[in-house]
Structure formats: C-alpha cells, structure tokens
Amino acid sequence: MSPTREADPLAQDFVTFSVEAGVLRFGEFKTKAGRLSPYFFNAGLFDDGAKLGRLAEFYARRLIASGLQFDMLFGPAYKGIALAAAVSVELARQGRNVPYAYNRKEAKDHGEGGTLVGAKLAGRVLIIDDVISAGTSVRESISMIQAAGATPSAVVIALDRQEKATDNGNDAPWSAVQFVQRQLGLDVCAIATLKDLLQYLETNQDPALGAHGARVAAYRDRYGV
C-alpha cells in the first residue's frame, strides 16, 4: 500500500514521538464504542516534564501554522487542564503570550468559588484537548464559554482518529470531529490524523511496526470516514 498524500512532516514527527514515548501503542484495545482497535493513543502517558514540554511544542507549532484566530485557551477537565497550561507556556516562549483557563468537575463553594479557574473567559476562546471521542466535552466547554459571554472559536486536539462516531449504539455516518465541525460550527485542528499514522506505518523501516499497518488499514476501512 502506498501513501495516499504527501507526508506532513510535523504530523510524522509527532507520530514518531508518540510511539517512542509509549503513548501510541499497537495491539488490541477495546474502545468506548466497543470496537477492537489495533492501536491506542493515551495522552495521559505524556507524564513527565520532557514529554509534556515536547507535546506542547507540537500543539503550538500546529496552532501557529493553522492560522486559527484566538485570544485565549480553555482546557476542559481533566486532561485539558495540563494541556492548556503547557501550551500557553510554549506559545509564550514562541512569542505569542495568551491567557488560559480551565474548569473543575465540581464547583468550589469557598475562596473564588465556581467551576472556572484561571483567566476570565473573554474574546475568542480556543478549546484544547487530547482527542474528540463523542463531542461531549466540546459541547460542555461551549456552554461554559458562552455562559461567560465569550465566543468559542475552534478546537485543537492531538490526534483525529477519523472514525465513525456512534449514535444510539449504531455507527454514525460522521466522525466525532465532523460532528463538532458541522453541528457545533467549530473548526477542528489536529496535530496528526489516522491518515498520518498509516503513512508512518507504511514508510517505517522497522518490520515490527510495519506489520501493524495492515491491521490499522483494515480498521480504517471498516470504521473510517
């Protein structure tokens, strides 16, 4: 199988980094939708300073290249909290200093109170997360941002699995990312996609990794959009 498009260097570097960090793994994994996936991406394993800093660099580089317009970052609890903080630091290092905020799952009834922490939500707010599984986190984030009088501008994620979402237990004709784009009206920017992962497997010189390519391609053929 040959690559279907010219490789995106940033995406290929990110996939390589994710595999080397043990964040992107191959085998057999059960997804939330009950599917048996031949790969699994666990952003919670970017779990030390060096890996989190490198991850933030990939987010910042993708955001700057995307041309998306935003005034601040919002990280939905829980994984989005560390991402928003780390990416705001990296953007500042690259000359773009923006505030960030995040939410608590449980409202605080003392001190500053409420569920929001960090900068006041204002202007164009970029939502940052690891993946979009069902769009629930994005919908909740949109509600909080709009309730604060700000405008949700876009979403940035690490990996777009490019596979069908589930609708009442059935495969939907759209992905969770497409749902956010079409139904919620927000642009979605990803550091890498399933296509990028397949290109990595197709061109990798390691036979052990290359052997996973056929299984990932078969999964894409069955569940991809």
Name the residue ranges covered by the structural domains of the chain.
Answer: 9-223
Question: Which of the following is catalytic: 108, 120, 164, 212?
Answer: 108
Q: Which of 7-11, 31-35, 106-110 is modeled with the greatest confidence?
A: 7-11
Whether 164 is catalytic is: no
Domain 9-223 in CATH 3.40.50.2020? The answer is yes
Residue 21, CA atoms < 13 Å, CB-side half-sphere = 24
Question: Which of the following is catalytic: 32, 105, 110, 212?
Answer: 110
Q: For tokens 């997804």, what's the residue?
A: 31
Whether 110 is catalytic is: yes
Report, in angstroms and rounded to the nearest whole number, the Rg of the chain calculated over CA atoms: 18
Give SS3 for 189.
strand
127-168 residue pLDDT tens: 999 999 878 889 999 999 999 999 999 999 999 999 999 887
